[in-house]
Amino acid sequence: MADLLLGQVLSFRDDPFEMGEAAAQHIEQGAVLVEGGLIRAIGEAAALRAAHPGARLHDYGRDLISAGFIDAHVHYPQTAIIASWGKRLIDWLNLYTFPEEMRFADPAYAEEIAGRYLDLVLARGTTSICSYATIHPASVDAIFGAAKARGMRVWAGKTCMDRNAPEGLRDTAQSAYDDSRALLQKWHGIDRLSYVITPRFSPTSTPEQLAVLGALWRENPSCLMQTHLSEQTDEIAWVKELFPQSRDYLDTYEAQGLLREGAVYGHAIWLTGREKARLTEAGASLVHCPTSNTFIGSGLFDMGLARSLRVGLATDTGGGSSFSMLRTMAAAYEIAQLRGEALHPAQLWWLATTGSARALHAERQIGNIAPGMEADLVVINLASTPAIAQASTRAETLWQALFPTIMMGDDRAIRDVWLGGRRYS
């Protein structure tokens, strides 16, 4: 039986970084028809009700129906260390992250955190994530198992590290290749799951490990490859020491076959001119992690890159300080303001939905409301707290009504979540 969701409906016909707010489509008394896991139609409520009299109705009144949020860069194993005080990247990794990731040697702990993490993000309207696991293969099984049980479209991969990490968190070039390959064969393309080849970052991989992962990627071209790039200046100086023969940070990946379409680089703040040109030429994706970049003190991402590259948006849990893509949009707005640009709410919303889907090469499946796309939806209450309600009540446009929720909203703004055509919450 078909479901017909009634409310205000927001979708995108185009890229608001090119077309401005005209890229968005807002239907004030709108409807979305869902059947068999897919969106079948979007339009005026009256017309769709008349055309589908047998559909089950879900009347959301003045609430906003949107594609679910897509968090394009997270570390689900860092759920329990989110909001840890006082360190910059390398010290933060050593003091908080690595000891926590060590606990994932226990598959039961990995399962507990994977379930906890997905429930936290679903409650915040995030319907898809792209995650790093830990070096332990069971940590990949845990997140895919939890995603499969919930019907979520999820990307994940075993984090590979064969140096500059503590004993117990290191693999080797060979075992990274073997384990990644086995996990890829086990999970890639099962239900809504995709394996991602995942070297953590150049400081924790030898050139030999990067090279075998480059080979694995060539052998499995339908996979994405994710890693970190140019997040902090001290990290970049360290990469220079570790790879004296490389032209720059990107070259440490490029030289090993880890740069092409389907490469997804987190952070990418301190890029050189050559790096920007090569990333654009290669068709790579970047992921902006604004709450992480302020929280760990990394720097201000150049959103101008969204005009030439696929750019997604992410929390970077747990370097980021929030599980919420609303808070993440707010931080993206604030960072752009510090660089002298006011991002339009349409651009912020697009980044958290279609932009992230494009960064993950899944824009035909998720991240928008259009016939044939998978029915991952979020329903937003635009007056979820007294503070937001009093600011949005005088709004004359959708954008004025939505912006207070972008800036001040949290899990209370999430009225409902639909996953693969089924009501989740």
Angstrom distance (rounded) from CA 201 to CA 326: 27
Going by their DSSP bridges, the two strands 285-288 and 24-35 should be labelled as unpaired
x-or-dash pattern for ligand GUN, window 359-378, by CB under 6 A? --------------------
DSSP-based three-state secondary structure for 174: helix
DSSP-based three-state secondary structure for 379: strand
Site size toward ligand GUN (CB under 6 A) is 12
75 binds ligand GUN, rule: CB under 6 A: yes
Cβ of residue 188: shortest distance to Zn ion, in angstroms? 21
Cβ of residue 161: shortest distance to Zn ion, in angstroms? 13
Considering the complex, state which of residue 127 and residue 292 has its C-beta at the smaller distance from ligand GUN: 292
Angstrom distance (rounded) from CA 132 to CA 318: 11
Contact call for residues 129 and 73 (beta carbons, < 8 A): no
Give alpha helix (H) positions in 132-243: 137-150, 173-187, 207-219, 233-242
Cβ of residue 131: shortest distance to ligand GUN, in angstroms? 11
DSSP-based three-state secondary structure for 377: strand
**Sign of CA pseudo-dihedral 115, 121, 124, 127:** negative
Contact call for residues 424 and 122 (beta carbons, < 8 A): yes
Considering the complex, state which of residue 63 and residue 100 has its C-beta at the smaller distance from Zn ion: 100
- State which of positions 176-235 bind ligand GUN (CB under 6 A): 200-201, 228, 231
* Residue 268: count of CB within 10 angstroms of its CB: 26
- State which of positions 281-320 bind ligand GUN (CB under 6 A): 292, 296, 316, 319
137 binds Zn ion, rule: CB under 5 A: no
Q: Which stretch binds ligand GUN (CB under 6 A): 89-97, 173-181, 185-193, 388-396?
A: 89-97
Considering the complex, state which of residue 250 and residue 296 has its C-beta at the smaller distance from ligand GUN: 296
CA 213 and chain centroid, separation: 22
Largest CA distance in the chain: 68
Q: Which does 97 bind (CB under 5 to 8 A by kind): Zn ion, ligand GUN, none?
A: ligand GUN
Cβ of residue 97: shortest distance to ligand GUN, in angstroms? 5
Query: What is each CA distance from 89 to 133, 292, 319, in whole angstroms?
Result: 18, 10, 8
Considering the complex, state which of residue 242 and residue 395 has its C-beta at the smaller distance from ligand GUN: 242
x-or-dash pattern for Zn ion, window 247-286, by CB under 5 A? -------------------x--------------------
Question: Of 245, 300, 251, nearest to 278 (Cα)?
Answer: 251
x-or-dash pattern for ligand GUN, window 136-175, by CB under 6 A? ----------------------------------------
By the criterion CB under 6 A, which residues form the site for ligand GUN? 75, 89, 93, 97, 200-201, 228, 231, 292, 296, 316, 319
